[in-house]
């Protein structure tokens, strides 16, 4: 065996991947997210029930009737099958409106995940762009952008979202549109952290020899930034994005729980937990509010595990 042959040369990417895969918590997080995505995106295809399908029950026969079965609904003694217990037909029972909890869990998770991803993307677009510009140009541009960062950093996020959200309802924004407004506002209130981070990276890269070389070679500003500087900031951006993703899902569910976030027609996990405010449900119907709460916890925790694992894996010190 020759020593030159067995020298394993790994690219930085491979090294990061290997360190990441060694982190058990991070792997657990990845598995949870994959399972959640499958559950929320693929799950509804297999669920026999719809998101808003309400179930009725014939008190005389005990037979369950779907809301679509208009004929059967006309029979006497038919009432909404509310708070049904866990059964083979309803794996987590039905909620206070007679809807299948398990099915709604899928749709709720779907919205939460989509929402989180969308807000993160908005946050990144604004934050990376402004951060890169501030870091690249420095001087007055940097000063102005950094003051702006500080301004946005100071705005209390949750109260502001609460107010924006609540006012949107009074102002008659259609619930279908509200989700988009919420995404945009949440993105706008959160880009400051990303911008600050990206700027710091840019500043340190700007003074390196290879950037002098790039500048001397006459590369365009956009090319300098996107081709030569930003890639260096990508690890930090990825870590931030992952952790923020979890945070946004948490905030969305909090707003929804408070009744000012996503509302009908969307099934939302926060909304499902909200049922706990009725003391009867809190006491006797754990199947209605416990699963969505645990689901939020699992998703957010998974993103945090992944983010933490990535941060460790990217850390060149080890």
Partner 1 sequence: MKQYVIRRILTSLVVLLGVSFLIYAMLRMMPGDFVEQMTSGNPTVTAEQKEKLRELYGLNKGIVEGYVQWLSDALRGDFGVSFTYQRPVTEVIGSKMWISFSLAASAFVIELLIAIPLGIAAARRQYSKRDYLIMFLALAGISLPSFFFAAVLQRIFAVGLGWLPLSGMVSAREDYTGFRLVLDIAYHFILPVTVFVITGIGGWLRYVRTNMLEVLNADYVRTARAKGLPESKVVGKHAFRNTLIPIITFIGGSIPGLFAGAIITEGIFAIDGLGKTALDAVNNKDFPFLMTYLMFMAVLTLLGTLISDILYGLADPRVRFR
Partner 2 sequence: MWFKNREKAPIAAEASANMKDSSNVLEIDDLKVHFFTDDGVVKAVDGISLDIPKNTTVGIVGESGCGKSVTSMSIMRLLQEPPASIVGGEIRLNLGDDALDLAKMNKDSMRRIRGKEVAMIFQEPMTSLNPVFTIGEQLMEGILVHRPDIGNAELKGKVIELLKMVGISRSEEIVKSYPHELSGGMKQRVVIAMALSCEPRLIIADEPTTALDVTIQAQVLELMRELKDRIHTSIMLITHDLGVVAEMAEMVVVMYAGRIVEQGTVYEIFENPLHPYTRGLMKARPTKDNKSKRLYSIEGNVPSPVGLPDYCYFHNRCEESEEDCKNEYPTLVSVTPTHKVSCYVANKENKNA
Q: Which of residues 47-106 bind partner 2 (CB under 8 A)?
A: none
For residues 90 and 101, the answer to whether their CB atoms sit within 8 Å is yes
- Name which of partner 1, partner 2, none residue 260 binds, using a CB cut-off of 5 to 8 Å depending on partner kind: partner 1
* Strand ranges of the sheet holding 55-58, from the earlier edge strand across to the other edge: 64-66, 55-58, 78-80
Judged by CB under 8 A, does residue 1 bind partner 2? yes
> Minimum distance from CB of 6 to partner 2 (Å)?
4
Half-sphere exposure of 54 (CA within 13 A, CB side): 12
Judged by CB under 8 A, does residue 24 bind partner 2? no
Distance separating alpha carbons of residues 97 and 91, to the nearest angstrom: 16
| 247-265 b/e (C-beta count within 10 Å ≥ 16 → b) | bbbbbbbbbbbeebbbbee
For partner 2, which stretch binds (CB under 8 A), given 3-11, 57-65, 160-168, 222-230?
A: 3-11
Using CB under 8 A, which of 2, 71, 207, 209 touches partner 2?
Answer: 2
> Minimum distance from CB of 103 to partner 1 (Å)?
20
- Smallest CA-to-CA distance from 79 within 92, 67, 91 is with 67
**Which residues contact partner 1 by CB under 8 A?**
24-25, 147-148, 150-156, 158-160, 162-164, 166-167, 170-171, 246, 250, 253-254, 257-258, 260, 270, 273, 276, 279, 282-283, 286, 289-290, 293, 296-297, 300-301, 303-305, 308, 317
For residues 98 and 35, the answer to whether their CB atoms sit within 8 Å is no
> Minimum distance from CB of 282 to partner 2 (Å)?
37
> Minimum distance from CB of 287 to partner 1 (Å)?
13
For partner 2, which stretch binds (CB under 8 A), given 5-13, 51-59, 128-136, 152-160?
A: 5-13
For residues 33 and 300, the answer to whether their CB atoms sit within 8 Å is no
Distance separating alpha carbons of residues 127 and 273, to the nearest angstrom: 32
- Name which of partner 1, partner 2, none residue 2 binds, using a CB cut-off of 5 to 8 Å depending on partner kind: partner 2
> Minimum distance from CB of 308 to partner 2 (Å)?
19
Judged by CB under 8 A, does residue 45 bind partner 2? no
Please report how the helices 230-257 and 191-206 are oriented relative to each other, as an axis angle in degrees rounded to 10. Answer: 170
In angstroms, the first-to-last Cα distance of the chain is 29
Element (H, E) at 240: helix 230-257
Binding residues (CB under 8 A) for partner 2: these are: 1-4, 6-8, 18, 22
């Amino acid at each position: 065996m020759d020593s030159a042959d067995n020298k394993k040369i790994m690219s930085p990417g491979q090294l990061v991947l290997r360190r990441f895969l060694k982190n058990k918590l991070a792997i657990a997080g990845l598995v949870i997210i994959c399972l959640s995505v499958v559950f929320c995106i693929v799950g509804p295809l297999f669920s026999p029930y719809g998101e808003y399908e309400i179930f009725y029950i014939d008190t005389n026969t005990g037979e369950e009737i779907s809301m679509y079965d208009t004929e059967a609904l006309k029979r006497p003694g038919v009432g909404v099958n509310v708070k049904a217990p866990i059964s083979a037909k309803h794996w987590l029972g039905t909620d206070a409106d007679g809807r299948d909890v398990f099915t709604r869990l899928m749709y709720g998770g779907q919205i939460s995940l989509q929402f989180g991803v969308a807000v993160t993307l908005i946050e990144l677009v604004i934050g990376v762009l402004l951060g890169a510009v501030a870091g690249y140009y420095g001087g007055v541009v940097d000063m102005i952008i950094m003051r702006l960062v500080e301004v946005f950093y100071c705005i209390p996020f949750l109260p502001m979202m609460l107010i924006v959200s609540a006012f949107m309802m009074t102002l008659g924004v259609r619930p279908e549109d509200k989700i988009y407004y919420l995404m945009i506002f949440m993105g706008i209130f959160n880009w400051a952290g990303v911008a600050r981070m990206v700027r710091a990276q840019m500043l340190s890269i700007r003074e390196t020899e290879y950037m002098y070389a790039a500048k001397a070679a006459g590369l365009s500003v956009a090319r300098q930034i996107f081709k030569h500087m930003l890639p260096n900031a990508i690890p930090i951006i990825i870590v931030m994005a992952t952790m923020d993703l979890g945070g946004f899902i948490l905030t969305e569910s909090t707003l929804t729980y408070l009744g000012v976030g996503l509302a009908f027609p969307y099934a939302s996990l926060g909304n499902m937990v909200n049922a706990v405010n009725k003391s009867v449900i809190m006491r006797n119907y754990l199947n209605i509010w416990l699963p969505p709460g645990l689901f939020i916890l699992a998703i957010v925790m998974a993103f945090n595990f992944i983010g933490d694992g990535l941060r460790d894996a990217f850390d060149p010190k080890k």
